[in-house]
Structure 1
Amino acid sequence: MPCTDLLAVDRIVILSEPVSRDALLDVVAGLLGAGPADAALVAACLHERERLCSTGIGHGVAVPHARGGRVPLGAFVRLAHPVAFDACDGDPVDLVFAMRVPEDHAEPHLQILADLAGCFADAAFRERLRAAADVTAVRALLLGDARRRRAA
C-alpha cells in the first residue's frame, strides 16, 4: 500500500504556531485517533516509539509511527516552525508523515515505511511541500502529485 493511500484531506494540516516534539506527537495522535480515548492510546505509542529511537529520518522529515487500530492510517503535518526531533542529521523537522498500522500488518508496515523513505528522499518533492502556499496546495501535492509520480 503506497503511503499516500493512507491519507485523507482532514488528516493533512499546517501548524503555524511553534510546538515541542511532544506536543507535535499529541497533535498527530489526535489526527490518527478515533476519538479522545483512542488518540490518547496513539499518543502513548508514539511517545514510547520516540523514546526508543527518533523517527527523524533527515532533511527535515520525521515519520513517527505506531501500531494499533483496524486499518492503516496516515497523517501529514507541515510545521511553520521546525522542531528539534533528534533526527539522524541533527536538522530540525518541519515535514511529518505519521502513520498507524494494525498489529497484524507487519509486512505492509515495512512497505509503507520504504515508500515514505522513497517519497521524502526526493529533494524536489520536499521543497514543493515546503513552498506550497497553503494547506489546499499541500493536500493537492500529497493526494494528487505523489500518486501521479507513482503511476509514472
Structure 2
Amino acid sequence: MHLLDLLSPARVRTEVPVSGKKRLLEVLARVLADGAGGDSEAGIYDTLCSRERLGSTGLGHGVAIPHARSARAKVATGAFVRLAEAVDFGAPDGEPVDLVFALVVPEHFAQQHLLLLAGLAEMFGDAGFRDRLRKAPDPAALLALLADWQATHEPVG
C-alpha cells in the first residue's frame, strides 16, 4: 500500500487555522470522515482522542501523526494538513506542530497500520522534505511532493 492511496485531493489542506490540539483533532475528524467508509466524524474524533490519551502522536520537528484503528472504518483513510500556525501537540521535543498526517484504519489492519506509521516516520524524518512541505504553495503542490517522495520509496503496509 502506498501512502498516497490513503489520500484524496479533498483530504490535503494548507494554511488550516486551529487554536490548539483539540481543534486540530476536530478538523482532522471532519476531513477524514470524507473517506473513512462507515465511520462518522464524531466516531473518528473519539478514536483519535482515545489514542492521544495513551500518549502524544507528535513525532518532533513540528510533525504529528494522529492515528487510530476503528471498528467502524471500512477502509484505511489519511489526511494531510499543514497548519497556518503551529500548535502545541505534546511532541517529545517540545516543538509545536504544523505538519500533520492523520490516519484511521479498520480494526483488523494491525500490521498494515504499523507499516504505514513506519513509512510516515521515515518520510517525516527527512529535514529537507519537511522544509519543502512547509514551502509548498497549495494542496496540489503538497500532493506532488508526496508523490515524488513515494516514487523513490517502497510501498508500505
Distance 1:41 1:16, change over 3 A: closer
Q: Secondary structure at the match of 1:119?
A: helix
RMSD, matched Cα? 1.8
Mark the runs of 5 or more structure 2 residues left unpaired by the alignment: none
Tell me, yes or no, if the aligned pair for 1:17 and 1:81 is still in contact at 8 Å.
yes
- How far apart, in 1, do the equivalents of 2:138 and 2:45 lie? 27
Give the percent of matched residue pairs that are identical in Structure 1 and Structure 2.
49
Alignment size in residue pairs: 150
Letter in 1 for 2:80: F
Letter in 2 for 1:12: V
Match of 1:62 in 2: 64
Q: Secondary structure at the match of 1:90?
A: coil
Q: Is the deviation greater in 105-114 or in 127-136?
A: 127-136
Tell me, yes or no, if the aligned pair for 2:3 and 2:150 is still in contact at 8 Å.
no
Point out the structure with the larger helix share: 1
Q: Secondary structure at the match of 1:13?
A: strand
Which residues of 2 match residues 78-89 of structure 1 at below 5 A? 78-89=82-93
- How far apart, in 2, do the equivalents of 1:125 and 1:56 lie? 17
Letter in 2 for 1:60: G
Letter in 1 for 2:127: A
Which residues of 2 match residues 94-109 of structure 1 at below 5 A? 94-109=98-113
Deviation at 1:80, TM superposition (A): 1.6
Q: What are the Cα deviations for residues 29-87 of structure 1, in whole angstroms up to 9, with x where unaligned?
A: 1111159x701000011111111100001110000011120111110000120000000
- How far apart, in 1, do the equivalents of 2:94 and 2:60 lie? 7
Deviation at 1:92, TM superposition (A): 0.3
Mark the runs of 5 or more structure 1 residues left unpaired by the alignment: none
